[in-house]
A and B are shown apart, each in its own frame.
Chain A
Amino acid sequence: MTFLELQKISKTIGNKVILHEIDFKVGKGEIVAIIGPPGSGKTTLLKIISGLLAPTSGRIYLEGKDITNTPPHERGFSMVFEIPPVYPDRTGYENIAFPLRLKKLNEDEIRKRVLAVADLLGIRHILDRKPSTYSGGEYQRVALARALVTEPRLLLLDEPFRNLDAKIREAMVSWFKDLHKKIGVTIIYSTHDPLEGMTMGDKILVLLKGIQKQFGSASELLARPTDLDVDEFISIPALNILKGYIDECSESGVKLSFKNAMLKIPKKLLKCERGQEVFVAFRPHDVKIDTGEGVGVFKGRIININYTGRNQLVSLETDDTIIRAVVGKDVKLKIGSTVSIIPSIENLRLYDANTKKLLE
């Protein structure tokens, strides 16, 4: 059942379009991740949902009721910003109790709720301490506890893990998913990190330059990005993109031509036109390299190697472009040497060179 619905939400400031017709539905208890680079409109969208900003046009419905003009404090939402304001002169307990005091709850009730949320978040041991003694993760948990203690109908989180050390962030993401299973609150959260967003979100909204590019599950995004921009944004390490054209369409597949290479892929396109210019995209993990005299599609010179622990990320210079490949760390490679490059033909996608739309 739809819990929250955004209908064609747009925001213009002066003649600048910040958001253009954002339109999606959130089910009760779901996590929606808004992913996009800095400046794509993520924070503005969260502020509009929270009521802190009014949309220029469009409507917002909560359980079927139009809340577009409902003031923030009547919506029953909680919002946590990137750098949440935790009062430095108050203990953890007082920080978490603060919104309940505003609601003039009695002391017993406050105590009961603060302790319950502190147990849930595993921060009972720091309730007596002041924020200056907290680690990054603890600080974030106290801010989160304060947002949860009012039992909000919807929790809005703006880049909640951005300022945490890499190692703590990794732990927080797993911890947070776990917490969500226990409390089941509906969450809309934003991140610039597509991988974090795809791990956290039941649904993911890809927001690029204020435009809703795609809304769907992580597997949908990975398997069928609507266009090249989405594919490019969600791929880390960076997506390989080659420009070529369709040389032959047949029952068995498509033959593609590049500057100095040909590639036949077993994909039947709904509409296949000879001579059509296309972008061929594949992720660095979907490339094999052969150091022997192999039958690779492209030849490439190794210009860079980054060791990642599990693997090596290799950058290869070809006639057309630079191709990146993730290969096992046991493969012996040398900078400057030439190798054969074999993209996995099952895992590449074709996009129209003009519209950048996925060709199916």
Chain B
Amino acid sequence: MGSLKEYIIMRALLVIPTVFILLTLVFFILRILPGDPIVAMLGQKVPPEVLEKLRAELGLNKPIWEQYIDYLSHVIRGDLGRSMIWGRRPVIEEIMDRFPATLELTIFSFAISVFLGITTGSIAAFRRGSKIDTGMRLYSIIAYTLFIPWFGMLLQMLFGVYLDLLPIGGRIDPGLEPPHITGLYVLDSILTMHWRSLESALAHLILPSLTLGIVLSGAYTRLVRNNLIEVLNQDFIRAYRARGVRNRKIAFHAMKNAFIPIITLMGLQFAILLAGAVLTETTFSWPGIGTFLLERIQYRDYTSVQGVIVFYALFVAMISLIVDVIYALLDPRVRY
């Protein structure tokens, strides 16, 4: 497995140019947008000399290329800088405060989307050509095209307002936050045995993770169905049947073969999952990185936005690397 180590190092090195390009794009796009953090925060009526002074403090009076070099040299040293508004906290602290919320939502949505996608896709493939198959394919197309805020609000109306069963926003009822261990409320309340916190955290998770999970499951349904049908048509499946292997076991082998390419999709979907999380968080007032990002874009908080982008890029790269390693371990044909 020494070559696997080499592969991981290669992949890790490739992340550097990716992040660099992304960061450069974001840096300049943000500065092309009209307005700047000072105006956004203090409004239009600030006296010009105060404006100049505050700009000089943030280094915004320097030529743009100088700001760029300055910022890059900090990022290389692992320093994402400080936020440009409201207390100027270090960006990394702002991110870490909100990351557990996003991670919790992402994990639950991911689990829901994979579960729904695999179930519906497998049913469709095994019942290929039937009405059930048509129904599952319809589900996949509808789920895939749903607009997250619209669908989220629909669920809020239905379960939150009309049926009054579930909370429509936030992470947990006030005062029930479990002691901080990992920042994931569900995990922390289990670890510290705060059962009321657990109940509240789960109730708050249902609607947002269902929204995001259902929307993302559409792609899986299609892929699982198509892959499984392709595998079921292969010679070795017929050979299993010709040897009198039970249908149940053949289905197991078929699914194992069909899921390997889907694991790759899971890695790719992760970036979409994070993007979807931004919309879901906003819809459900979920205090995660997505809400933070949207807020800081409005305030032109350059360093925070850039920081979140770098963080997301590294996170996605890490996940896709993990997925690749899992893929290599599962498929005997792949050796790096």
Q: Do A and B truly interact?
A: no
**B residues with CB within 8 A of A:** none
**A residues with CB within 8 A of B:** none
